[in-house]
Structure 1
Amino acid sequence: PSRPLPSTAVSAALCLLMVLCSQGAPVSPTGARQIVCELYGRCGDEFYDPAHYCCHDQAVVPLARTHGCGNCTYRVCFEQCCPLSLTVKLRDQDCSAAAGPGDRLCRR
């Protein structure tokens, strides 16, 4: 019967694949390199699991991380605080755009 690989061997293999993917080195088969590299995000020089973390201000943070915006809190991985208007908008929206239906106005 086959025995499972020790966790250190699995970790070492994943680490090696991540380094190779980040350097663009060919890994055979090519499809495996693409699949492994798509499983992780990159934030500066650090890799992270996008199912549990995001890259915010060049740091890897948990998806549940919140910050304050006036009297509101917002999730930094998905939203942003627009300080001049004290509005919480989705992360990819422009703060200078008119308020939309999903925006939240926060007070000081």
Structure 2
Amino acid sequence: MRKAGKLPPETIGESYDLEYGTASVEIETDAVQAGERVLIVDDLIATGGTAKAGADLIEKAGGTVVGFSFVMRLDGLDGLDKLGGKPSSSLIAMPA
């Protein structure tokens, strides 16, 4: 999964809201097979917008998101609330 425009042309995408605008993430159309179980790993969760968009994208492609893992979590921004109750872990938690 990458920011829009960084992958070869055959992609599917998902847009999400930022504090002051919107952004998009994409995957190659064949990156996820129907029924495949996916753990989303990212460096940071703050508001949860990117993680939720990634999960929506995986599910749009036919996969099942089984959880999330982050290097750092910024507490106080309610990002985990957007993960639909799926399991998540982080190595470091910091106040926002």
Same fold? TM cut 0.5: no
- Flag the structure with larger Rg: 1
TM-score (norm 2): 0.24
Which structure has more strand as a fraction of its residues? Answer: 2
Which structure has more helix as a fraction of its residues? Answer: 1
Between the two structures, name the one with larger relative contact order (CA 8 Å, sep ≥ 6).
2
TM-score (norm 1): 0.23
